[in-house]
Amino acid sequence: MVWGKVKSHPWWPGHVYSITLTSDGEVRRGYRDGLVLVAFFGDSSYGWFEPHELLPFEENFPEKAAQGGGRNFPTAISEAADEVARRAALALLCPCRSPDAFRPHEADPRYLLVDVPGFDTDAEYHPDQVTAEREKIAPRALLDYLKGAALEQRDAADKVWNRNIPAVHMSAMLEAYRRSRFALKDPTYAQAFGMDYEKLQAEKAAALKKARQGIHTHMPNPVSCTVDYGFVSAAMYSNMIVKLTVILMVLYRLNFDSFVLNRGVDLLELVVCFIFLMICMLHKCFFPIGLIRICHAIITLSLPN
């Protein structure tokens, strides 16, 4: 990993990339003897450099990371820190436990495609890079860092987020160690609580299968979206009763033109509509319908006979 600088741009984090791994014709056309191809983080750009034009990444990180550099610069710093963590995890990845984790690269068999747990698949590394990361393992330093993090959790977290590359490296290596020692089948927890381990695993598998089918068994249904078909049916029947009552009263009004009777009909419709509105309030999705019925009855009452 290196820092490179293009004209009118600040120093930018990147990593040396082999031309044999790319089939991009435009990238290949820029090749000259002695030049080094650098792929930059954050914006997917690249550049060809003389080796003396590049700076080591870790040694110059505090200074260059503090310089700033536009909208994509924070993203580039974040991606560079992720790559540091990925390489730290790579150091503890062994074919003896994960035989399929290392595969020859199709474009160049000298390189490897590596599945790094906790990060991504098909990461491209040279065997020398894997060896270099393994040589960085310092058990005593890891233990000291872990003890310090346990005693001063906030300070340890601040060290990571304050762009301290050694802290990022240590944290990632400890996580990778925990992942490498993790037991896929651990019945101890279930046995301690008197649970059937096999049954527990079957329930987890069933829940995972439902989740993959788009069914989230742990998501509670919001009250506003829960459909109670009893209330829906009551609301529908109440609406029908209101309409039927109005029709009958209108027919009755045509035969007996009485002001009192007419107002009585409208008041009856208003009372029924209020009952309908109360039912609709129990199911919020139908509340606007009940409100419309109330407004209709009030307007009818306000009109002259």
In this model, does residue 296 exceed pLDDT 80?
Answer: no
Predicted confidence band at 256 (pLDDT cuts at 50, 70, 90)? Answer: very low
User: Of all residues in the chain, what percent carry a pLDDT higher than 70?
Assistant: 57
Query: Model pTM greater than 0.85?
Result: no
In this model, does residue 215 exceed pLDDT 50?
Answer: no
Residue of 91, 81, 78 whose CA lies nearest to 173: 91
7-21, 43-57, 244-258: least confident range: 244-258
pLDDT given for residue 55 in this prediction? 92
The phi, psi pair for 285, rounded to 5°, reads -65, -25
In this model, does residue 228 exceed pLDDT 50?
Answer: no
Looking at per-residue pLDDT, the higher value among 260 and 106 belongs to 106
160 and 171 in contact (C-beta within 8 Å)?
Answer: yes
Looking at per-residue pLDDT, the higher value among 25 and 128 belongs to 128
Q: Return d(Cα 110, Cα 101) in angstroms, integer.
A: 16
User: Taking each helix axis from N to C terminus, what angle separates 259-282 and 229-255, rounded to the nearest 10 degrees?
Assistant: 170
pLDDT in tens, 129-180: 888 888 888 888 888 888 887 777 555 545 544 457 888 888 888 888 887 7
pLDDT in tens, 72-119: 888 888 888 888 888 888 888 877 777 778 888 888 888 888 888 777
In this model, does residue 198 exceed pLDDT 50?
Answer: yes
Q: Return d(Cα 281, Cα 276) in angstroms, integer.
A: 9
Q: Return d(Cα 191, Cα 300) in angstroms, integer.
A: 71
Q: Return d(Cα 1, Cα 83) in angstroms, integer.
A: 9
The CATH architecture one would assign to domain 2-135 is Roll (2.30)
In this model, does residue 3 exceed pLDDT 80?
Answer: yes
283 and 290 in contact (C-beta within 8 Å)?
Answer: no
Q: What is the mean pLDDT of residues 41-49?
A: 85
Q: Return d(Cα 212, Cα 174) in angstroms, integer.
A: 31
Looking at per-residue pLDDT, the higher value among 132 and 121 belongs to 132
Distance in angstroms between the alpha carbons of the first and the last residue of the chain: 88
pLDDT given for residue 22 in this prediction? 80
In this model, does residue 206 exceed pLDDT 80?
Answer: no
32 and 48 in contact (C-beta within 8 Å)?
Answer: yes
pLDDT given for residue 226 in this prediction? 35
pLDDT given for residue 188 in this prediction? 66
Residue of 147, 128, 151 whose CA lies nearest to 139: 147
In this model, does residue 248 exceed pLDDT 60?
Answer: no
Residues in the chain, how many?
305
Q: Would you kindly state where each structural domain of the chain is located, as residue ranges?
A: 2-135, 139-181, 183-219, 224-302
Residue of 275, 276, 271, 270 whose CA lies nearest to 295: 270
pLDDT given for residue 213 in this prediction? 39
pLDDT given for residue 2 in this prediction? 92
Output the average pLDDT for the chain: 71
DSSP the chain: -EEEE-TTS-EEEEEE--GGG---HHHHHT--TT-EEEEETTT--EEEE-GGG-EETTTTHHHHHTS--STTHHHHHHHHHHHHHHHHHHTT--TTT-TTSEEE-SS-TTSEEE--TTS-SSEEE-HHHHHHHHHT--HHHHHHHHHHHHH-HHHHHHHHHTT-HHHHHHHHHHHHHHHHH--S--THHHHHTT--HHHHHHHHHHHHHHHHTT--TT-PPPGGG---HHHHHHHHHHHHHHHHHHHHHHHHHHHS--HHHHHHHHHHHHHHHHHHHHHHHHSGGGHHHHHHHHHHHHHHHHS--
Structure tokens at 79: 């991606």
In this model, does residue 216 exceed pLDDT 60?
Answer: no
